[in-house]
Amino acid sequence: LKKAAEAKKFDTSGFSDDVRRQFRMVTESGTPSDKEKQRKIEEIGEELEKIYSTATVCHKNGTCLKLDPDLQGILAKSRDYDLLKWAWLSWRDVSGKPMKDLYAEWVSLMNEGAKEHGHADKGVIWRSAYEIPGDKLEELVDGVWEQVKPLYTQLHAYVRRKLAEKYGEDKVPTTGMIPAHLLGNMWAQHWQWIYGITVPFPGQPEIDVTNAMEDQGYDP
């Protein structure tokens, strides 16, 4: 905060674009000036990380499991629908519920700090790292989504059908959303762990596109 306050004293109008950019990054603070609020933000942040990293769930068989590698391993490797659902829900019960109110308080304090420095909320400061005006950033993201949406829609439908075949349409409807606990990852971020279920041509060799890409001028 002290460095940010000192940097704001400079008239950067005569500086190069690069130097002005560096000054803007130094002065782009969202930290509240109140020492007690600063302490509270740090304290809550540490508590959230602690809950997230140490949350433990216990199965009815007496086995107690942590997120990594235990629950992550279940989501990646198990094909037991009920066990997958238990792991997905249980971890959220022991982590999400204790974090809920703390996170709301943390966000409120962060937003207070941002408003103190002339921003609508902390999100404005985070998005400023992309150095794209707020309305243009949203427009850019929407544009990228529209480009990939047709492919994603087909991929989503294909994976949904394969999972329905595996677990039954009573558990995976062939329209609508895919149950998140079946995608091989606690946050459904990547689906490679269910490749064995979704592989389009089982028993066939994988396709190596290296030669075709090199022929089109791509580097290895």
- What type of residue sits at position 206? E
Report whether pLDDT(5) > 60: yes
Phi, psi dihedral angles at 205 (to 5 degrees)? -65, 150
Report whether pLDDT(105) > 60: yes
Report whether pLDDT(140) > 90: yes
Compute the distance between CA of residue 104 and CA of residue 106 in angstroms, rounded to an integer: 5
Q: Comparing C-alpha atoms, which of 80, 82, 56, 92 is closest to residue 187? A: 92
Bridge partners, 56 (sequence order): 66
The burial class, CB within 10 Å (0-12 / 13-18 / 19+), for 47 is middle
- What type of residue sits at position 152? Y
Report whether pLDDT(157) > 90: yes
* Mean pLDDT, rounded, for 70-87: 96
**Predicted TM-score (pTM) of this structure:** 0.80
Per-residue pLDDT reduced to its tens digit, 124-133: 988 888 888 7
CB 172 within 8 A of CB 159: no
Per-residue pLDDT at 84: 97
98 to 19, 40, 72, 95, 193: CA distances (angstroms): 44, 17, 20, 6, 29
Per-residue pLDDT at 15: 77
Per-residue pLDDT at 133: 79
Segments of the chain assigned E as strands: 56-58, 64-66
What tokens appear for 98 in the block? 């204790």
What tokens appear for 159 in the block? 């994976």
Per-residue pLDDT at 206: 81
